[in-house]
Amino acid sequence: VDPLQSDSSVQTLGAYYTVQAPKPWDLSWRCAGYDCYSGIAEEFYQCTSKGLPNDVPNTANRLELQNKCWWPIFAYNELKYINQIPLQYKTQPWNFLQVGWLLYIPGAIDRKPPVPKPPILPELPNGFEGLPGTTPQNPWNGYNGATSAYPRVTFDRYIAWDGSYKTDQIKWSETDRPVAPTITAMQTNESATAVTVYGVGIPKNHPLEVRVWNEYRYCWGCGSGWEFASRLATAQHVKIVLFTDKWQYLGEVWNDSPDGKWQITLPLGGSIQPGSRIFAEVQIQADYSFILHWWADTYETAKFDLRDSKYTGYPYFASGAGNIFTVPEARMTDLAEWAFRYREILSGNYQIVSGKHQFCGVWIKDYAYLTYRGDTWQTYTNLIFNPQLNWAFRLRGDIRLKYWDSYGGVCGNLGLPVTDDLIASPSPLGTQGAYQQFEHGSIYSSSYGTYATIGKMDELHNAGGGTAGYGFPKGDAVEQNGRLFQEFEGGSISMCGGADRNK
């Protein structure tokens, strides 16, 4: 095997090669990341020696490795990462060559890319998320808002008199904010229409210290000004208000329970849905009584309601944001339904066409894909879920039709799908298309049509380079004179008499 060819044997092939290089090259290879075939990660050779051996001549048709031990197995013309690879190759007479194509390795074994790992589904959501110790039966377990530190609030009170009427206002000066409420748990109902939020915070009648800053302002006839006479020593109006993490208002509830435990049910949809992040704050709105020494010999009793719009500044004082919680997925008891919903979320704008039905031990659900890249169109899709292996794959387009109409679907010759539909390697003639692998073969779709390679025929096609070698199939396998025959772009494959296309 000569792994360094720079002449006309350098080809643009979207194939995956392995090679066992002879001594004295002493090369090893590895994959630098998952899913190398799709170009997400680059795949490299790594040489164990320091560059090329001295006895390998640098002739015009050989490339000398400059970066010692890294060089790519494959690269696509469209692979955008290729320019980021710190590699340069040079030939005699030292013309630099940008590596933007696959290095063709004569005699190497070409095979299909590795089968992608199936989309293993996460555990069934139970609809509940909570702090340690909480349960759906006791979402406040061990948490109590009545032990929270109480706030201290200082008011400024101003009086003015212009000879005909008096004006007054109240505003904040110094505030020690109350402890923010804590969300202890959330529970989404099974229909995913609402979420109940549980938490603890400062309750009604919680101790509240109020200090009044008696700043005298001169006014005609004000006498000695005013003085604080009495107060309500506890919080009278305590509200829990919920927001998204972007401070979008969601809802509120008055916290009247003596232990500070509260709960509120919010509708899902729009700005709040499973996965949304929300928090709560406490807003204390209390009534306070003052006696004003207005004239030198007159007392006037005034009650100030901080919720009164005539007072400037905040009509309440708030704790600020508490802990942030994520709305959980709805509780699911049906593993198949969860698989469908999970893949629907991953796959895009799908709409259910029919409910799930069962064939040959697997569950199937039908969807219609309604939009694609901003255009409105429609194609039907099956989602097949295998509960024994806990994975789900989709079938769509011409491959889906071929699978069901010609080969019996999940109960037929091809068996169950083991991948989603994938982009195939371009053929030597430049044909492009897609394919999907099944337990006993593959289905290819290209400009020639949609055809399957099954059993031994599929193995021989793969051994010959797959679509990068033989190209795409130009028809299904047929029996001719006791032989099984299938035509491809680059040739044909036939098997001797008695061959079973399905084995």
Task: Summarize pLDDT for 250-281 with one digit per residue, the tens.
Answer: 999 988 888 889 999 999 988 898 999 999 99
Distance, in Å, from the CA atom of 403 to the CA atom of 308, rounded to the nearest integer, reads: 71
Share of the chain above pLDDT 90, in %: 27
Q: Which two tokens stand for residue 375?
A: 């255009």
Residue type, 173: S
User: Lowest mean pLDDT: which of 59-68, 179-188, 342-351?
Assistant: 59-68
* Sign of the CA dihedral with 191 first, then 264, 345, and 411 last: negative
pLDDT band at 415 (very low <50, low <70, confident <90, very high): very high
State pTM to two decimals: 0.54
∠ CA 380-382-384 to the nearest 5 degrees? 175
DSSP 459: H
Any idea which residue has 């998320």 for tokens? 129
∠ CA 237-238-239 to the nearest 5 degrees? 120
Give tens-digit pLDDT for 114-126.
Answer: 566 667 788 888 9
Q: Could you tell me how far CA 76 lies from the centroid of its own chain?
A: 28
440 vs 388, higher pLDDT: 440
Give tens-digit pLDDT for 285-319.
Answer: 655 555 454 444 554 544 444 444 444 444 566 77
Residues 6+ apart with CB under 8 A from 430: none
Residues 6+ apart with CB under 8 A from 186: 128, 129, 130, 195, 196, 197, 198, 325, 326, 327, 328
Share of the chain above pLDDT 70, in %: 54
pLDDT at site 168: 52
Integer angstrom CA distances of residue 367 from 330, 343, 345: 21, 11, 12
SS3 182: strand
Residue 42 confidence (pLDDT) above 80: no
- Of 203, 156, 6, the closest CA to residue 90 belongs to 6
